[in-house]
Amino acid sequence: MTSETSIEVARSWRRELVDSLVQAALLFAPDGTALAANTAARQLLELPSPLAGAPAGDVLANPELLGAVVEVRRNADPVTVETDHGEFHVRAVASLVGDDVLLLITDRTQERRVEELRRDFVVNASHELKTPVTSIQTLAEALGVVVHTQPERVPALVARLGDEAERLAALVHDLLDLRRLEERGTLEREPVDLAELVRRVVAAQVARADAAGVELWVDADDHVLLAGVAGDLEVIVQNLVVNAIKYNRRGGTAEVSLRTEDGEVVLQVSDTGIGIPATDLPRIFERFYRVDTARSRETGGTGLGLSIVRHAVEHHGGTVQVESRSGTGTTFTVRLPSGV
């Protein structure tokens, strides 16, 4: 077998190897022309077909990817790069295989998004925790000063200290709920009477509604059974009911309805409150997103309630939708699979 034949046999084997890989892969000849690209690479890089014999510069429009191919040819050592390619974030490793250059590309778009979400979550959580902690520290210092010199101020400072401690406890509780829901695997479901649960949650919020001047109504069947996690279902109802009171107006109403419809359990929580601007609707289920930051802080909101609702609903195989107009009120509709 001649050396040219041996080279061609080896190259043919390398082409077959590239085609067999699940990971995006391209093969380039010593002269820099393309020899092969598998289906994953064609889809990721949006390559034309055929491309055999095309210069690497035409195939790899991304300068980082092209640079990796050139660099490995120059130094013979594997080269790793990370770069954005269109809407994708990719990691590529170029290495020599015989006289040819093999370029393996991994789509890391999803991993990057997860990393960014995790980083943003840590930053936001740290910021949110810092606010009540700083307030507690400041109030404690003030209390230490006035307890002997201005005792008449002590009750007010103690009350404010209690409010900030409650705010901190609520935030920590919501953070733990969110983490639990995000990391949970298969649910251990059990029969739950959602109608009874709704009435219990609403009854617990009557005092809050009275203090806010909001009328609270319930319209539910005697029994509505479904398979689920009682604690998570309670979190859904409680967050929606509390929001319907918190973001209402004095003299307004908040109504909770529960029915079975076409094989689904439909929970609706409506209010006649301040509503949500249309521009904010797509983001209200994001962690720490607030439509009205000042009002949310004034009422003790953590910015996590609706994100917790969405996770809990999706864990139960359901959906949550919102309809709202600024100044006229909001309706949240949760649909869950019925039956036990």
pLDDT for the residue numbered 163 = 81
CB contact at 8 A, 287 and 304: yes
| 299 pLDDT above the threshold of 60 | no
pLDDT for the residue numbered 328 = 85
Mean of the pLDDT values across residues 9-32? 79
| 168 pLDDT above the threshold of 70 | yes
Count CB atoms within 10 A of the CB of residue 230. 14
Q: What CA–CA distance (Å, rounded) separates 165 from 143?
A: 15
The token pair that represents 12 in the structure block:
């043919």
Q: How confident is the model at residue 252 (pLDDT cuts 50, 70, 90)?
A: very high
| 194 pLDDT above the threshold of 90 | yes
pLDDT for the residue numbered 301 = 58
| 271 pLDDT above the threshold of 90 | yes
pLDDT for the residue numbered 207 = 93
**Per CATH, is 111-183 categorized as 1.10.287.130?**
yes
Lowest mean per-residue pLDDT among 47-56, 77-86, 115-124, 247-256: 115-124
Q: Torsion angle, CA of 243/247/252/255, rounded to 10 degrees?
A: -20
The token pair that represents 198 in the structure block:
């709704």
| CATH code, 186-340 | 3.30.565.10
Cα-based angle 292, 296, 299 (whole degrees, multiple of 5): 145
pLDDT for the residue numbered 2 = 55
Residue 269 phi, psi dihedral angles, 5° rounding: -125, 115
pLDDT for the residue numbered 290 = 67
Q: Where, residue-wise, is CATH 1.10.287.130 in the chain?
A: 111-183
Lowest mean per-residue pLDDT among 11-20, 67-76, 304-313: 11-20
Tell me the average pLDDT of the chain. 83
Mean of the pLDDT values across residues 215-224? 90
| 313 pLDDT above the threshold of 60 | yes
pLDDT for the residue numbered 98 = 82
- If phi over 0 gives left and psi between -120 and 50 gives alpha, with beta otherwise, what is residue 319? beta
The token pair that represents 326 in the structure block:
């600024």
pLDDT for the residue numbered 200 = 94
| 296 pLDDT above the threshold of 60 | no
Q: What percent of the chain has pLDDT over 90?
A: 26
Residue whose C-alpha is closest to residue 263's, from 211, 224, 293, 215:
224
Q: Where, residue-wise, is CATH 3.30.450.20 in the chain?
A: 3-107
Quick one: CATH architecture of 3-107? 2-Layer Sandwich (3.30)
pLDDT digits (tens, 9 = 90+) for 32-89: 888 888 888 888 888 877 777 788 888 888 889 989 988 988 888 899 998 888 888 8
| 208 pLDDT above the threshold of 60 | yes
| 214 pLDDT above the threshold of 90 | yes
Q: How confident is the model at residue 327 (pLDDT cuts 50, 70, 90)?
A: confident
Q: What CA–CA distance (Å, rounded) separates 132 from 152?
A: 24
Sheet bearing 329-337, strands edge to edge: 215-220, 253-261, 264-271, 329-337, 319-325
pLDDT digits (tens, 9 = 90+) for 128-142: 777 778 888 888 888
- 118 Cβ neighbours under 8 A, 6+ residues apart: none
Query: Token match 């510069």: residue?
Result: 57
| 249 pLDDT above the threshold of 80 | yes
Alpha helices in 83-226 (DSSP H): 109-149, 154-183, 194-204, 206-212
Count CB atoms within 10 A of the CB of residue 275. 18
DSSP state of 151: G
The token pair that represents 265 in the structure block:
């359990």
Q: How confident is the model at residue 8 (pLDDT cuts 50, 70, 90)?
A: low
The token pair that represents 123 in the structure block:
């930053």
Residue whose C-alpha is closest to residue 215's, from 253, 246, 181:
253
Per DSSP, the three-state class of 17 is helix
Q: What CA–CA distance (Å, rounded) separates 219 from 255?
A: 8
pLDDT for the residue numbered 113 = 74
Mean of the pLDDT values across residues 180-193? 75
Of the CA atoms within 13 Å of residue 97, those in its CB half-sphere come to: 20
Q: What CA–CA distance (Å, rounded) separates 83 from 44?
A: 13
